[in-house]
Structure 1
C-alpha cells in the first residue's frame, strides 16, 4: 500500500500541474472604442442598454428600442442627428396631439458605468459614487469631494495627488476608473 502511494506521489511530482488555458474575454469587457454604450428608457417597447456605432448612436439606439410614438421619427431629423456620448441616457417621451417624440438626455448611474467598464467623470461623482471604487472609503471620498468644492473642477486625474491620502500608488490604482 505504501509502495502504491509513493508511486502515485512520484508520478504527480514528475508530471506536475498542466498550465492553465489563457482566459478569454470577460463578461464585462470594456467595449471597443468604435462602439458606444447608451441606455434608453421611456416610451419604448424595449428599454435597456444598447451598444451602437458612435456615428449613429442616437438613430440606432432609438430604433433598436422600438419607440411607441405614432409620429414618424424620420421627419424629426433633430432627434436622429444629435450626437450622444457613450455612457449617456436617452429618455423618450411621446407628447402632444401628434404623439411627437421628445428626448431628455442624462448620464448613466456610476454603478452602471462601472459595471460596463466605462470611466466616471471625476468632476461629477458623489461621495457615494467614489465609495464604489476599490481603495476609497468614506473618509477619502469626503476629502476628494471637499477638495473639488474648494478648488473647482479637476483639470486631470493627476490632480488627485493634491488630496490628502492619495499618493502615486493610489493614483495609479484609481486612474483607470476616471476619464
Structure 2
C-alpha cells in the first residue's frame, strides 16, 4: 500500500522529469526492479582454409651427347626436355636436335642423347621422344632385354641407370624374360613405364 508521501514523490517525478527519465525515476521511487533486456551477440568464427600447394616431385635425368656439359641433372616433375637441355648448358654448335621433341615431359631416370650432325642413330635410342608410328615399328631396332648390357638397356626410353641395373639383377635372379610384359615384375617399372618402352624391347 502506497503511503501519501510515496504518492507525492511519484507525482513529482511524472510532472518535472522528461518521459524517459521519469520512467526511470518512477521505477526507483516505486521500489520496483527495472527490467534490463540483454541482447545476446552471437559470434561466428569463420574457418579460413589455407590451401598449401604441394611441391613437385624431384626427378633425375641423364643428358649426354652434343651438349655443353653432359651429365646427370636434378629437375622436377613437369619439366620438359628443353629444360634438361638448358640445364646441360645448351647445344654445341654441331648438335643435331631435329629428332628431339623439346615439349615432351620428362620422367625420372630419363636418358637423353643428343647426336652431332651426320651421326647415324638408332630409333631405339632415347633421342626419339615422339611416339613411333605403327607403320614404322617394324623398322625399329629393338633391344633384347635378355641379352642387353647396362649401356644398351639405357638406350631404351625411360630406362636410366637404376632401372637398367634392376633389369639385370632380375634377370640374374629369375632367368630370362619369357615376354616383354614381364618387365613389370622389375622393381620401378609399372604399367605406364612399360607402355612407353614396349615398342623398343624384345625377348627374341
TM-score (norm: length of structure 1): 0.36
The structure with more radius of gyration: 2
Q: Which has the higher strand share?
A: 1
